[in-house]
Structure 1
Amino acid sequence: MPSLDVSIVSEFLIRYGEKAYYVLKTALEISEEYKLSGKYFPGDFDSKGLIKKLRERGIRYNPTQLLRLMEREYGIIETTYKSATQHWWSFTNREAVTEALRIYEGGEEIILDPEVSVIDLQVKLLDLSRIIRILKALKSKLRLTDNDRRIIKDIIIHELPDIALVAKNAMKYGDRYKDFLAKFRLIIKIAEEVIIKMKLSSRLGIRGAEEHKDMRFELSNESV
Structure 2
Amino acid sequence: MSQTVDALLARIRELQQSLQDELEEKRAEFRYRLVAGRARFEDEVLARHRALRVSLLSFLARPRPLVILTAPVIYALILPLVLLDLFVALFQAVCFPVYGIEKVRRSDHIVIDRHQLAYLNGLQKLNCVYCGYANGVLALAREVAARTEQYWCPIKHARRVADPHGLYGNSTDFGDAEGFRARQAALRADLRRIRGRSGAAGAKKT
The alignment's TM-score, normalised by the length of structure 1, stands at 0.29
Q: Normalized per residue, which structure has more helix?
A: 1
Structure ranking higher on relative contact order (CA contacts 8 Å, 6+ apart): 2
